[in-house]
Structure 1
């Protein structure tokens, strides 16, 4: 039974979901890093919010950990590269609190426009300063949205409903999507010059860190108002303070800060700044939604192999997982097979999906092909880190799909290129779930992959098979199956032998010395 640790406060319903799905669960909130490090090795899954820091040290101690689930969007507290290197899937729940966060941004924009917090404090103090608080309307104003993904798109929709003109800067926003949601796609410089209000809805990355710095703020329209309910660090806070004090920026509404908890800040006490303590996702509905989603996602992954909202590997839905399972086995076997055949420095791999295989979600299949391919070449490779390793080593990976059937209804072919040439292996499924090899280096051959195999390339001459069988028999190695293939009589041939035990180096040397042997390689599969 898989075992999950919940280390931050989640809805009690999350515990029920884990148990209903057959997952053992412990709840230990408020652990110090050393305490978490001491026990994390017991768990297959870790469910967190923002308080738990999943560092490289924690991951190094997490010897059984398979998945980290963040109840919420931001994963700044998870070392994703370290998790990927260790084969740990990192998931978040990007949609559970989207509406809540978007509504908070709209609320902050209203509060900023009408100076509601300062007016509220003044009125509670017994003053009646009606003429002091002169706000601005949102109607007809230009809203600049930096980051128009899920949350940014919802904010844009609500702003359009308020009859605002919405412009958006997002490198990943397609023109078609911009038209669909009713925004004008612009470059950042144009947004800065035109916007009356600017709201940020982008993750904090190297590319977005400090996107509103002193230089950017200087390009904004005088009197601009800025809202940030996304991530601290997107705005250079010292530059914002200077721009407000200079009167260039009319005000700011901030739910997030570069350092949190922000119990003291130079902007605090400034009536032109509306501040809330990271409340973007803080509604009853959102807290319940993200807790339930993260429990469902972790349980589905640990029990069924479904991968949803993963940040470091392709997603596989619960519906896809059973259909993909036999293909995953086939893909790993093919990758492992050709990975043990290649000679030389690996330069590229082309994966061809034909027939029914081409209709599948092939991204996870490609990942596991790479895992099988790279596994014989290096240690600690898994389907999570294999694509990253391939990219780091400049191994070109290409996918092609052909839905038309050939000789087989479904087919997967792997072609690898090295500095010494190419190798290929092709496989299919018999009966819908039984992996079979059907071609090796363009030589037709039908075989099942078994734990111990001997691959021999030889000249097609009479008597060779008998000599090979005798050599194995004299070494007390029992033959389970014997598969032959050739391109033409007398041409190069392939012999693939399944044996009941590992072929040792001495026996392999004897086989290589047999007349007609071009190459002999031992193959092993877990």
Structure 2
């Protein structure tokens, strides 16, 4: 029986280097084979997952010897933390390891959506030369509003400020005298949520999915955004009302949107139909925090932490 069960992809060098002293069952397809997953857990002391594996009470019951759950990422909404706590199971997220990847995704996507010229390849190759309709906007001077100001948002703020953006954030859990507000590129303005949204040329979400944040960005909140604003969600899908985003894009109130996360993942064709014919929309499959580099960092952090916990 394996000591460590890994249900989703991670860097194999990290497994070899940090978990070499343990019997490891590494199978990235286990997440899609629940019966095999439960069987693999029967004697395991550690479980390593990404976001698709639902670590609920039923799955935990299949692993009576479990002592630690490693999360290859930072969001913990797929892990029943009270159930783990009741069993004395330690939950370890990869805090900080993918901050840069998400921050780069947000800033690059904001630039892409503001400029609006990068989907013209077929037209240019066909000789239509569509300059008249491709006059986009610069990112310099725009106001970036960050909903949540944790470590990923702070990395985003630094990159945005370097490009000449003005940065504001809303985070009710961060005291006004916290040193994080004084960023290298200048002080980040702390604003109430409604004021932040009303001033944002680009609104980026950086909050976990909780009862308080579910549906936070709904039709009324989107209506508060300035006309032509860009909305980016690389946090958690349930924070945003997806049909409201689609409607605001079609009506022209939103100037663009990028959604990397969805209320139900993977996004089904039926659920994705709500986005049909939406202009200036980018949909990506929960990949903002996953790069070649971040995969190595996340994998090594969790492999080492799990080994130490065991």
Decide: shared fold, TM above 0.5. Answer: yes
The reply to whether residue 104 of structure 1 matches residue 105 of structure 2 is yes
- Structure 2 equivalent of residue 279 of structure 1: 287
- Structure 2 equivalent of residue 161 of structure 1: 162
The Cα shift of 1:294 comes to: 0.6
Q: How does 1:13-162 map to 2 (within 5 A)?
A: 13-20=13-20, 22-31=21-30, 32-123=33-124, 126-162=127-163
Whole-angstrom distance in 2 between the partners of 1:296 and 1:236: 38
- Please say if residues 146 and 198 of structure 1, whose CA atoms lie closer than 8 Å, have aligned partners that are also in contact: yes
SS at match of 1:233: helix
Work out which of the residue numbers 197, 212, 218 in structure 1 matches 2:223: 218
- Please say if residues 48 and 68 of structure 1, whose CA atoms lie closer than 8 Å, have aligned partners that are also in contact: yes
Structure 1 residues 67-114: Cα deviation after superposition (integer angstroms, max 9, x where no partner): 000111222322222222222111110211110111011111011101
Pick 1 or 2: higher relative contact order, CA cutoff 8 A, min separation 6. Answer: 2
The reply to whether residue 261 of structure 1 matches residue 236 of structure 2 is no
Q: Quick check: which one's helix share is greater?
A: 2
- Please say if residues 260 and 287 of structure 2, whose CA atoms lie closer than 8 Å, have aligned partners that are also in contact: yes
TM-score w.r.t. length of structure 1: 0.55
Q: Which has the larger radius of gyration?
A: 1
The Cα shift of 1:246 comes to: 2.2
| Structure 1 pair 232–279 and aligned structure 2 pair: CA distance change class (3 A) | same
- Structure 2 equivalent of residue 516 of structure 1: none
Structure 1 stretches (4+) deviating beyond 4 angstroms?
A: none
Whole-angstrom distance in 2 between the partners of 1:146 and 1:200: 5
| Structure 1 pair 25–214 and aligned structure 2 pair: CA distance change class (3 A) | same
What is the aligned length? Answer: 301
| Structure 1 pair 252–55 and aligned structure 2 pair: CA distance change class (3 A) | same
Question: How big is the alpha-carbon RMSD for the aligned residues of Structure 1 and Structure 2?
Answer: 1.9
Whole-angstrom distance in 2 between the partners of 1:3 and 1:93: 20
Whole-angstrom distance in 2 between the partners of 1:201 and 1:38: 36
Q: Quick check: which one's strand share is greater?
A: 1
SS at match of 1:52: coil
- Structure 2 equivalent of residue 293 of structure 1: 301
Work out which of the residue numbers 177, 180, 192 in structure 1 matches 2:179: 177
The reply to whether residue 231 of structure 1 matches residue 233 of structure 2 is no
The reply to whether residue 199 of structure 1 matches residue 204 of structure 2 is yes
Whole-angstrom distance in 1 between the partners of 2:91 and 2:126: 49
Whole-angstrom distance in 1 between the partners of 2:125 and 2:75: 36
- Structure 1 equivalent of residue 10 of structure 2: 10
| Structure 1 pair 140–7 and aligned structure 2 pair: CA distance change class (3 A) | same
More displaced, 207-216 or 10-19?
10-19
- Please say if residues 249 and 279 of structure 2, whose CA atoms lie closer than 8 Å, have aligned partners that are also in contact: no
Q: How does 1:367-386 map to 2 (within 5 A)?
A: none
Identify unmatched segments of 5+ residues in structure 2: none
Whole-angstrom distance in 2 between the partners of 1:274 and 1:70: 27
Whole-angstrom distance in 2 between the partners of 1:162 and 1:289: 26
Whole-angstrom distance in 1 between the partners of 2:40 and 2:245: 43
The Cα shift of 1:125 comes to: 5.4
Whole-angstrom distance in 2 between the partners of 1:218 and 1:273: 17
The Cα shift of 1:224 comes to: 1.4
Structure 1 residues 40-69: Cα deviation after superposition (integer angstroms, max 9, x where no partner): 121110111233222211111210000000
| Structure 1 pair 123–72 and aligned structure 2 pair: CA distance change class (3 A) | farther
| Structure 1 pair 36–126 and aligned structure 2 pair: CA distance change class (3 A) | farther
The Cα shift of 1:213 comes to: 0.5
Whole-angstrom distance in 2 between the partners of 1:155 and 1:178: 13
SS at match of 1:118: coil
